[in-house]
Amino acid sequence: MPIVRYGEWGRALLLFPTSHSDLWDNENFGLIGSIKHHIDAGKLSVFCVNTINNQTWADHGLAPREKARRQALYAGYIEDEVVPHIRRTLGDDSARLGVAGCSFGAFHAANSFFRRPDQFDTLIAMSGFYELFPYWLHGFSNDDVYFNNPMWYAPRTHGHARHLLDHSQIHLLSGQGAFEFPDKSRDFSRALGAAGIGHNLDLWGHDVPHDWPSWHKMLEHYVGQRIGW
> Which pLDDT score is estimated for 78?
98
Question: What mean pLDDT do residues 189-202 have?
Answer: 98
Confidence check: pLDDT of 1 > 90:
no
Band of the pLDDT at 182, cuts 50, 70, 90?
Answer: very high
Confidence check: pLDDT of 145 > 90:
yes
Instruction: Write down the pTM of the prediction.
Output: 0.96
Confidence check: pLDDT of 193 > 90:
yes
> Which pLDDT score is estimated for 226?
85
Band of the pLDDT at 221, cuts 50, 70, 90?
Answer: very high
Question: What mean pLDDT do residues 33-54 have?
Answer: 96
> Which pLDDT score is estimated for 20?
79
Band of the pLDDT at 4, cuts 50, 70, 90?
Answer: very high
Question: What mean pLDDT do residues 138-160 have?
Answer: 97
Closest CA to 99 of 11, 211, 163, 174: 11
CATH number of the domain to which 220 belongs: 3.40.50.1820
State the Cα–Cα distance between residues 59 and 111, nearest whole angstrom.
Answer: 20
Secondary structure class of 189 (helix, strand, coil): helix
217: number of CA atoms within 13 Å, CB side? Answer: 14
Sign of CA dihedral 192, 17, 147, 184: positive
> Which pLDDT score is estimated for 184?
98
Secondary structure class of 169 (helix, strand, coil): strand
146: number of CA atoms within 13 Å, CB side? Answer: 7
The count of structural domains within the chain is 1
80-95: string of b/e by CB count within 10 Å (b at 16+)? eebbeebbeeeeeeeb
Would you call 8 exposed, middle or buried from its count of C-beta atoms within 10 A (0-12, 13-18, 19+)? Answer: exposed
Neighbours of 22 (CB within 10 A): 17
Confidence check: pLDDT of 160 > 90:
yes
Q: What are phi and psi of 15, to 5 degrees?
A: -120, 115
> Which pLDDT score is estimated for 159?
98
Sheet holding 97-102, edge to edge: 3-6, 44-49, 11-15, 97-102, 120-126, 169-174, 200-203
Confidence check: pLDDT of 77 > 90:
yes
The residue range of the domain holding 14 is: 3-226
Secondary structure class of 117 (helix, strand, coil): coil
